[in-house]
Amino acid sequence: MQQAGLVLVVEDEDPVRRYTVSLLEELGYTVVQAVDGTEAIAILRERRAEISAMLLDHSMPGLSGGEVLTEVEREGLSVPVVLTSGHDRTVLERRFAGHDVAGYLQKPFRIEALDETVRLAVARRAQAS
């Protein structure tokens, strides 16, 4: 399958991160991984021009997904962010109203939902370029 872009997956739970990475690779994406928010910001600072989209876990120890999102916006690290969470999407939409969020994925998610959400985020990045 043709590569569809570089996706940064930020997830502190190893099995969830491995599952997400395997699905994205199956969909044709190249993936870079971060185990926490601090690592994610470091990767974004270094590779933001290459990254097509970021899947960001909402609940992580250390920097939460919300704190990472705030830092990304503050530093102008413009990359489409898809928030992932076990919480209901409407709760996240209310909580992050006013933030630039490209999409939401409720865990556990199916490959079809991942495909559609990431494809839209990547297209958003392409339009902004």
Q: Tell me if 7 sits within 8 A of 17, measured CB to CB.
A: no
Is residue 11 scored above 70 in pLDDT? yes
Q: Which of 57, 52, 47, 45 is nearest to 20 (CA)?
A: 57
| Angstrom distance (rounded) from CA 59 to CA 119 | 23
The amino acid sitting at 57 is D
| Angstrom distance (rounded) from CA 25 to CA 19 | 10
Domain range 6-128, CATH class: alpha beta
User: Which ranges constitute the DSSP H helices of 57-110?
Assistant: 65-75, 89-95
Both structure tokens of 94: 């209310």
Q: Which of 14, 60, 69 is nearest to 36 (CA)?
A: 60
- pTM, full prediction: 0.93
Domain ranges of the chain: 6-128
pLDDT tens string 46-90: 999 999 999 999 999 889 899 999 999 999 988 999 999 988 888
Both structure tokens of 55: 């899947």
The per-residue pLDDT of the chain, averaged, comes to: 92
